[in-house]
Chain A
Amino acid sequence: MADPHEQPTRQVREIFLGEGTFPQPPPADGTENLLVNIGPSHPAMHGIIRIFAELDGERLVKTDVEIGYLHRGFEKHCEGGPYNNAMPYTDRLNYVSPLINNFGYASAVEKLLGIDVTERCQYIRVIMSEISRITDHLTCIGASAMELGAFTVFLYMIKAREFLWEVVEKVTGARLTISYGRVGGVKADLPPEFEPAVRQAFQETRTVLDEVHKLLTGNRIFVDRMKGIGVISREDAISYAITGPLLRACGVPFDVRRATPYWVYDRLDFEIPVGDVGDNYDRYLVRMAEMEQSMRIVEQALRAMPAGPVNVDFEGRPFTTPSEYVDRGKLGKTDGLLLVPITLSPNLRGQERPFHQAVNAPDKRAVLPSKEVTYGSIEGLMQHFMLIMDGFGIRPPAGEAYFAVEGANGELGFYVVSDGSDRPYRVRCRPPCLPPMAALHRMLEGGMMADMVPTFGSINMIAGELER
């Protein structure tokens, strides 16, 4: 067998090629086009992107987009550990709306297992995904407005995002690296003060959106720099597999939430905003309208969400700490111990058993037991160990499944292949930002150098999703 790491000999080209000949032959009048590197360390290139551009004056004749080296080895790492261990890696795919990535991956594994999560959990996933979508759009619009000089808008948007992130923090315990999804459910139920907190945050967000509308939507400078810039046709967008706000700005009403409804989206009433030209201004308007729709979805879901099961009977034995529970077990008084709710350390708050059952699937093959059961009974401990130990764990039958959710930037798909063991054989993430990046040169070429900034900003490129 040949050494698999050996590469076939290929010519390393000094000047990279885009689609076609590059650089262009010099014009007949004796002038020459200028080759310029924009990025990777440039204030308008978010992160590690390099655009290698051929300029004729200030006009972009030809561009080549490079996505740089931000490598954590997401897919390789997922293949190296048990199913639930991939959850922290999915957090880091999209660092402005990590909850959607969590739930997308968890749903793909659930599809592979053939289990359904509880209804309350589906509502929680919808609510948290929509809140994440709002934070994502706020960041995108705020950042691109700032790059056009509208710094006030950025501050307002980040203020609104802060209110929403506080809600996320209340639920998950973290703001960025939330790791809230679980195969078969979520980590814990919503906290009791959740609903008023969301309403308060939405009120603030709506105020901010009103202000931003007044500042931007009719603003002469903003409109002049956004309208007719970065246009991509409907055919090109479909050929480049662009989804999300960029596709909807071209007038295609494709939204995974509506096209192939998952969780409880088919029970909720919402509209899919579309544009018609497919330029930067339409993308801005689509995102602004989507945030309003997301808030509408959350408010409906909060009204429709079923409550968890009734608390179990205390039977006159109000144990409060695990140590009392253990003491009672040592004395041999084990009658009905499993029914007794106990309170754990505050670090594990939100793991109370009845809530755990409300938000997680009742499938012992996949779902970790609540901490009360784990620490309070030998059956729970054994089940926990079996799911955690190497070689046991979640074992979906051999096969493959693709599950798509509507991420903030478009279709976010997870393709998971199982070989029947407790670790995924292959995890593939279909990132929503890779296709627009692949089509970026089509949006840039022929435009002005300065238009690159709003066009690139409107893509909302998230580098964490681009790498494997």
Chain B
Amino acid sequence: MDGSAILARLQERFGAAVLATHDHRGDHTAVVDRGVVLDVLRFCRDEPALRLDMLMDLTAVDYLNYPGREAGPRFEIVYILYSVSENHRVRVKVGVEEDDPVVPTAVPLWGIANWYEREVWDMFGIRFDGHPDPRRLLMYEEFVGHPLRKDYPMNRRQPLVGPRN
């Protein structure tokens, strides 16, 4: 299925909840409302025509001070989906406000979401509602802050932590 056909299918199914679509450099992208993101992902995975059965990547972008986006939500969660059987890709994005950084978890849909979401929580401080195992993946538990946020300074140091017991 062509990428633009997938976007049209999503718009037809979810209507105004699909806030924007674009295909910059051939990457077909749908920006969806946070309330329906889980439904969109489930639809992408289960709809026979789409069958986007692999969550190839899940990451976040911190748009703090990004030129031209002062008004929008600070974070964006990016789901890169791929269909092994149909061989097409689509990107689903959802905006997340700074004062309410919560997204529903995709763990019931894909096993890999478990680690990807732990990583996003660790690096960006975005929580995933309903995650079965919400702890840091890369940094240690006592680490303060989230390193990939744009306001986390690159040369910031943190005290060494001794053994736990």
**Residues of A near any B CB (own CB < 8 A):** 2, 4-8, 10, 12-14, 16-20, 67, 69, 71, 73, 75-77, 80, 111-112, 114, 236, 238-241, 252, 254, 259-260, 398-402, 404, 411, 413, 415, 417, 419-420, 425-426, 428, 430, 434-435, 437-439, 442, 466-468
Given contacts A2-B99, A12-B142, 4 further A-B contacts (CB under 8 A): A5-B152, A7-B145, A439-B111, A466-B138
Q: Which residue of A18, A75, A260, A398 contacts B148 across the interface (Cβ within 8 Å)?
A: A75
Which residues of the other chain, A, contact B24 by a CB distance below 8 angstroms?
399-401
Closest 4 CB pairs of A and B: A5-B145, A438-B115, A241-B112, A430-B57
Tell me how far the C-beta of B162 lies from the nearest C-beta in chain A, rounded to whole angstroms: 14
Q: Which residue of B140, B144, B147 contacts A73 across the interface (Cβ within 8 Å)?
A: B147
Instruction: Say whether B54 contacts A241, CB under 8 Å.
Output: yes
Which residues of the other chain, A, contact B142 by a CB distance below 8 angstroms?
12
Instruction: Say whether B138 contacts A468, CB under 8 Å.
Output: yes
Which residues of the other chain, B, contact A12 by a CB distance below 8 angstroms?
141-142
Tell me how far the C-beta of B129 lies from the nearest C-beta in chain A, rounded to whole angstroms: 13
Report the separation of the CA atoms of residues A75 and B150 in the bound assembly, to the nearest whole angstrom: 12
Instruction: Say whether B87 contacts A398, CB under 8 Å.
Output: no
**Residues of B near any A CB (own CB < 8 A):** 24-25, 27, 29, 53-57, 59, 61-62, 66-68, 78, 80, 84, 87, 89, 91, 99, 110-112, 114-115, 119, 123, 125, 127, 132-135, 137-142, 144-149, 151-152, 154, 164
Instruction: Say whether B135 contacts A419, CB under 8 Å.
Output: no
Known: A7-B145, A401-B27, A402-B27. A241 touches B135 (CB 8 A): no
Tell me how far the C-beta of B135 lies from the nearest C-beta in chain A, rounded to whole angstroms: 7
Tell me how far the C-beta of B51 lies from the nearest C-beta in chain A, rounded to whole angstroms: 11
Report the separation of the CA atoms of residues A435 and B56 in the bound assembly, to the nearest whole angstrom: 9
Tell me how far the C-beta of A81 lies from the nearest C-beta in chain B, rounded to whole angstroms: 10
Tell me how far the C-beta of B54 lies from the nearest C-beta in chain A, rounded to whole angstroms: 5
Instruction: Say whether A430 contacts B80, CB under 8 Å.
Output: yes
Instruction: Say whether A5 contacts B148, CB under 8 Å.
Output: no
Q: Which of A5, A13, A16, A254 has the most CB of B within 10 A?
A: A5
Q: Which residue of B25, B57, B78, B164 contacts A111 across the interface (Cβ within 8 Å)?
A: B25
Report the separation of the CA atoms of residues A155 and B110 in the bound assembly, to the nearest whole angstrom: 40
A-B contacts at CB below 8 angstroms, number? 127
Report the separation of the CA atoms of residues A22 and B78 in the bound assembly, to the nearest whole angstrom: 31
Instruction: Say whether B87 contacts A411, CB under 8 Å.
Output: no
Tell me how far the C-beta of B72 lies from the nearest C-beta in chain A, rounded to whole angstroms: 13
Which residues of the other chain, B, contact A259 by a CB distance below 8 angstroms?
87
Instruction: Say whether A240 contacts B111, CB under 8 Å.
Output: yes
Instruction: Say whether A415 contacts B139, CB under 8 Å.
Output: no
Known: A67-B137, A468-B119. A435 touches B112 (CB 8 A): yes
Tell me how far the C-beta of A116 lies from the nearest C-beta in chain B, rounded to whole angstroms: 12
Instruction: Say whether A238 contacts B54, CB under 8 Å.
Output: yes
Instruction: Say whether B119 contacts A402, CB under 8 Å.
Output: no
Q: Which residue of B lies closest to A438 (CB)?
A: B115
23 pairs, A vs B, C-beta closer than 8 Å:
A4-B145, A4-B151, A6-B144, A7-B125, A8-B127, A17-B133, A69-B138, A73-B154, A75-B148, A111-B25, A240-B110, A241-B54, A260-B87, A398-B67, A400-B61, A402-B80, A413-B57, A415-B59, A415-B78, A426-B61, A430-B56, A430-B59, A466-B138
Q: Which residue of A lies closest to B140 (CB)?
A: A69
Report the separation of the CA atoms of residues A52 and B152 in the bound assembly, to the nearest whole angstrom: 31
Q: Which residue of B lies closest to A253 (CB)?
A: B84
Instruction: Say whether B147 contacts A468, CB under 8 Å.
Output: yes
Instruction: Say whether B67 contacts A415, CB under 8 Å.
Output: no
Which residues of the other chain, A, contact B134 by a CB distance below 8 angstroms?
10
Report the separation of the CA atoms of residues A399 and B53 in the bound assembly, to the nearest whole angstrom: 26
Instruction: Say whether A254 contacts B84, CB under 8 Å.
Output: yes
Report the separation of the CA atoms of residues A238 and B112 in the bound assembly, to the nearest whole angstrom: 9
Q: Which of B56, B154, B164 has the most CB of A within 10 A?
A: B56
Which residues of the other chain, A, contact B123 by a CB distance below 8 angstroms?
468
Which residues of the other chain, B, contact A14 by a CB distance below 8 angstroms?
164
Instruction: Say whether A4 contacts B57, CB under 8 Å.
Output: no
Report the separation of the CA atoms of residues A27 and B74 in the bound assembly, to the nearest whole angstrom: 50
Tell me how far the C-beta of A174 lies from the nearest C-beta in chain B, rounded to whole angstroms: 26
Instruction: Say whether A7 contacts B66, CB under 8 Å.
Output: no
Report the separation of the CA atoms of residues A258 and B144 in the bound assembly, to the nearest whole angstrom: 44
Known: A402-B80, A439-B111, A468-B138. A428 touches B152 (CB 8 A): no
Which residues of the other chain, B, contact A426 by a CB distance below 8 angstroms?
61-62
Q: Which residue of B55, B87, B139 contacts A241 across the interface (Cβ within 8 Å)?
A: B55
Instruction: Say whether B112 contacts A428, CB under 8 Å.
Output: no
Tell me how far the C-beta of B116 lies from the nearest C-beta in chain A, rounded to whole angstroms: 8
Which residues of the other chain, B, contact A260 by a CB distance below 8 angstroms?
87, 89
Instruction: Say whether B111 contacts A438, CB under 8 Å.
Output: yes
Tell me how far the C-beta of B124 lies from the nearest C-beta in chain A, rounded to whole angstroms: 10
Which residues of the other chain, A, contact B62 by a CB distance below 8 angstroms?
426
Which residues of the other chain, A, contact B68 by a CB distance below 8 angstroms?
398
Q: Which residue of B lies closest to A256 (CB)?
A: B82
Which residues of the other chain, A, contact B144 by a CB distance below 8 angstroms?
5-7
Instruction: Say whether B154 contacts A19, CB under 8 Å.
Output: no
Known: A400-B24, A468-B147, A468-B148. A438 touches B112 (CB 8 A): yes
Report the separation of the CA atoms of residues A13 and B24 in the bound assembly, to the nearest whole angstrom: 44
Which residues of the other chain, B, contact A466 by a CB distance below 8 angstroms?
138
Which residues of the other chain, A, contact B127 by a CB distance below 8 angstroms?
8
Report the separation of the CA atoms of residues A2 and B151 in the bound assembly, to the nearest whole angstrom: 12
Instruction: Say whether B115 contacts A417, CB under 8 Å.
Output: no
Tell me how far the C-beta of A118 lies from the nearest C-beta in chain B, rounded to whole angstroms: 20
Which residues of the other chain, A, contact B141 by a CB distance below 8 angstroms?
12
Report the separation of the CA atoms of residues A69 and B158 in the bound assembly, to the nearest whole angstrom: 14
Q: Which residue of B lies closest to A404 (CB)?
A: B56
Known: A112-B25, A438-B114, A439-B111. A467 touches B138 (CB 8 A): yes
